[in-house]
Amino acid sequence: MSYHHNNHHRHRDNYRLPGKRFPDRWSIYDNVGRDIDGTRFVPFKTPLDSSFFHGKDMPEELQFSVRSLMELAKRANKQIGLVVDLTNTDRYYKKTEWADHGVKYLKLNCPGHEVNEREDLVQDFIKAVKEFVEDPENEGKLVGVHCTHGLNRTGYLICRYMIDIDGYTAADAISRFEYYRGHPMEREHYKVSLYEAELRKNQRKNEEASGDSEDVVESKDSEEAATKDPEDVKEEESEEK
């Protein structure tokens, strides 16, 4: 699901025109990426309500709103069932617009540049998405995720889900996100954090596997001791003496 146009170098200064100011650099990013193959995610930049476009001579296809996103999904024969809003403000659009289209809405206020330091937000995101995806009533429905540009905070949390839950490596998760979003993630410290998250996950798996192995050995020793003939035990004790 994607707009097949390139916003780069177009309307770069629209936020200086009459009406509400666009978020900084908002107009240079593609409105929405494609849904990420192998997942239920579709990343996009924040939609804006109509008041942002008043007085601006801007092509309609670039006036990205909740309504235009839902129309795009309908044309692509896709259904968005949940939207996770990661912006740290409520000024871009009215959240009730999603309910008007039958879409569940979750707000996670994520300050810029530091979502990788907020494990509480990561776990809230993972829990909400996992519950939605595992509900049979939501079969086939997409999970839309956006921050201001639909790139860095969005990319970090989607990739964390792909690593922690879906089993992707950090390299694969980042590569797939960037390919389907149509833009590279810009925050290098987010990428570093994703590799660290993969490392922590693998360490936990190794520790759990090691613990399971020790339990198996102890269990076998206990079983052998329980099944030994009492006379054999006496002979072994005698030999040791």
Catalytic residues: 147, 153
Rounded to whole angstroms, the Cα distance separating 155 from 141 reads 20
| Contact between residue 47 and residue 93 where contact means Cβ atoms under 8 Å apart | yes
Rounded to whole angstroms, the Cα distance separating 46 from 60 reads 16
Closest by CA to 151, choosing from 5, 14, 23, is 23
| Contact between residue 194 and residue 173 where contact means Cβ atoms under 8 Å apart | yes
How many C-beta atoms surround the C-beta of residue 64 within 10 A?
24
Helix (H) or strand (E) holding 83: strand 80-85
Between the alpha carbon of residue 212 and those of residues 31, 111, 218, 219, the distances in Å are 48, 40, 10, 10
Q: Is 62 exposed, middle or buried (0-12, 13-18, 19+ CB in 10 A)?
A: middle
Identity of residue 176? R
Rounded to whole angstroms, the Cα distance separating 83 from 103 reads 7
Rounded to whole angstroms, the Cα distance separating 18 from 30 reads 22
